[in-house]
Structure 1
């Protein structure tokens, strides 16, 4: 099957989302001749790449929403049999340098979370990755209250980074969004502002939505 072209409208995107609901990742990969690695547990990014391909996402690794021209970000959310998220949701890389003049309004996080296509996937640990089932995808935009929570968490933690206090940031900070190290290994270091204003090295960081926040989004959508 030919590579799907980017959807031109939100309706077209949601039709594609409906077409894959109820299918397993393996069934979708077979239908689109998408290469499936042998050791899927080591290939954490495969699931996201498959769904981006099938739905026609265009952004790749650029710091813009996945469906750039529609302004919609795709987020898969692994859920258990109880319908609750199994892990935090990665949003984007945390900028650690050149922070002057950076605001919530211009941040990558705000761009990515302004309009999200959530795709729940039944991914209980006992289910092989290839047998995981796609649920009903839905569009979401943060309410005013949710946006305030996100902005507050973003500003509080970015201020610590700007002040050279990145070591004070842990997963406990943030009401709905945390910052955690995001690196394949401990050798992948990057520049950061140190305690005395000089540059030092640290692990790259990522923004992650906390489980209670995404659980509430699912509960609001499905009336759980």
Structure 2
């Protein structure tokens, strides 16, 4: 297994070296089986690249490279360089949120420095033949952070007011909130409309595709 990277340049160089490699090659290096598709293995590509780069955080509420303050995000693109799906950021706190603010939020923590790795997301290409694209480092601009903060605050205000079940994926300019659970039987505590505890599906924060698409267009001059 690759060792964790101890400086940003080493991490970026290692990620850059993955460009053009197939998923089959990377899986073979780690002794992994390539699934036929991602319907039942949605996080497989992310785990594959985490393993290739020696990410250490696992499923903890930390960046993937906590010593460097860097989060790893894969982004599947179509033939025209457009993101094919929203990007999961982190799970959403639904109780004990008094005093939580944007500066100390996990969303801001996760997005303060992101190592993006584009991947071939074309479903007509067999998974084992798909390749890794050109990695790049990104930090939100002041304008981007303002957009993220405004959406985060709107969502958290509604959660605090017991309106979590009224939030839809259409809300939020760049950051959406939607259920994140393996199945509908997985429930968690949340604040109800009268301040009582209710049971609801876990929620996650996701970056909308128009936001990540703009990042891709800016970086690659598309």
Q: Into which bin does the TM-score normalised by the smaller protein fall?
A: over 0.9
- Whether 2:178 is the aligned partner of 1:180: answer yes
Superposed CA RMSD? 0.9
- Within 1, Cα distance between the matches of 2:139 and 2:32? 33
> 2 CA distance for matches of 1:50 and 1:196?
44
Is contact 1:40-1:46 (8 Å) kept? no
1:127-175 Cα distance to aligned partner (Å, 9 max, x none): 1222211000000000000000000000001000001011220011100
Pick from 154, 158, 161: which aligns with 2:159?
Answer: 161
Q: Which residue of 2 aligns with 1:221?
A: 219
Q: Secondary structure at the match of 1:20?
A: coil
Alpha carbons 2:176, 2:208 under 8 Å: kept: yes
The count of aligned residue pairs is 221
Gaps of 5+ in 2: none
Whole-Å Cα distance in 1 between the matches of residues 12 and 191 of structure 2? 43
Tell me the TM-score normalized by structure 1: 0.96
Equivalence for 1:118: 116
Where 1:133 maps in the other structure, the secondary structure is coil
Structure 1 runs of 4+ aligned residues shifted over 4 Å read none
Instruction: Give the Cα separation in 2 of the matches to 1:90 and 1:199.
Output: 26
Partner of 1:33: 30
Task: Check conservation: 2:87, 2:207, Cα contact below 8 A.
Answer: yes
CA distance in 2 between partners of 1:190 and 1:99 (Å): 15
Corresponding residue number in structure 2 for 1:92 = 90
User: What is the match of residue 150 of structure 1?
Assistant: 148
Task: Report the CA distance between 1:117 and its aligned residue.
Answer: 0.3
Aligned counterparts of 1:33 and 1:111: Cα–Cα separation in 2: 29
- Structure 1 residue 89: deviation in Å? 0.4
Partners of 2:68 and 2:30 in 1: CA distance: 26
Distance 1:208 1:108 in 2: 12
How far apart in 1 are the matches of 2:146 and 2:31? 40
Q: State the partner residue of 1:171.
A: 169
The answer as to whether partners of 2:169 and 2:176 remain within 8 angstroms in 1 is yes
CA distance in 1, matches of 2:147, 2:167: 17
CA drift of 1:18 comes to: 1.6
Identify the residue that residue 137 of structure 2 maps to in structure 1: 139
